[in-house]
Amino acid sequence: MSSIRVYHAFRSPYSRLGLHIIDRAGLDVELIPFTGPPDGVSFSDPTASKPKLSYYGIDAPRMTMRMGLPIMRPSPFDVDFGPANKAAVAAARDGKGLAFALGVADARWGEGKNISDMSVLEACAEQCGWSADALHAAQEDADIAARLRKQRDQIAEDGVFGVPFAVMGASKYWGHDRFELLVEEAKS
């Protein structure tokens, strides 16, 4: 099996679905938080379009329920994703990446929680058997900051323009609905 990089964002309910597909398939992947498009590349916020936002309000719940997962609109919606992203990188370093990312995505999109609240992130860390001390240390860790900068370069190199997005060899997969194809090809 080729190495698989999976880009995700806690802002996206579709990233949550992609993470669940990866987890259910038992794939070993490198998780990379999508911290925005490559420098100099414009990015259209999907929630800025009223028709698209209206569609997402229908589609995200139906796709989530189709996977048998609960869904709840996060409150507040726009938060500082920096602490969760730093923690996700540190959790991956410590072998808890997918479990932690799923916990955070489920807290946000399944329970409507504010994932910029450190107590929410602490509960996610505890749930996956990761240390709250490591979570807090990651917030000021120079190695984690360096990893995030390197991942920004990887976002540009892979041409990531949205999430969830996966890269396996020369093949790219955008959208959770393409992750089933990723799984089939990864296991063949």
Q: What is the pLDDT of residues 136-179, one digit of tens each?
A: 999 999 999 999 999 999 999 999 989 999 999 999 999 999 99
Residue in this structure with the two tokens 């999109």, named with its chain if needed: 109
Quickly list DSSP for 94-114: TT-HHHHHHHHHHHHHHH---
Given pLDDT bands bounded at 50, 70 and 90, which one contains residue 1? very low
Burial of 121 (0-12, 13-18, 19+ CB in 10 A): buried
Is the separation of the CB atoms in 75 and 114 below 8 Å? yes
Contacts of 79 (CB under 8 A, 6+ apart): 114, 115, 116
Please give the residue range of the domain that contains residue 175.
4-187
The 8-class DSSP code of residue 176 comes to: G
- What CATH number is attached to the domain comprising 64? 3.40.30.10
Domain count, the chain: 1
What integer pLDDT is reported at residue 164 of this predicted model? Answer: 97
Q: What is the pLDDT of residues 40-93, one digit of tens each?
A: 777 777 778 899 889 999 999 999 999 999 999 999 999 999 999 999 999 999
Q: Give CA–CA dist 72/140, Å, rounded.
A: 31
What is the three-class DSSP state of 6? strand
Is the separation of the CB atoms in 28 and 53 below 8 Å? no
What integer pLDDT is reported at residue 2 of this predicted model? Answer: 59
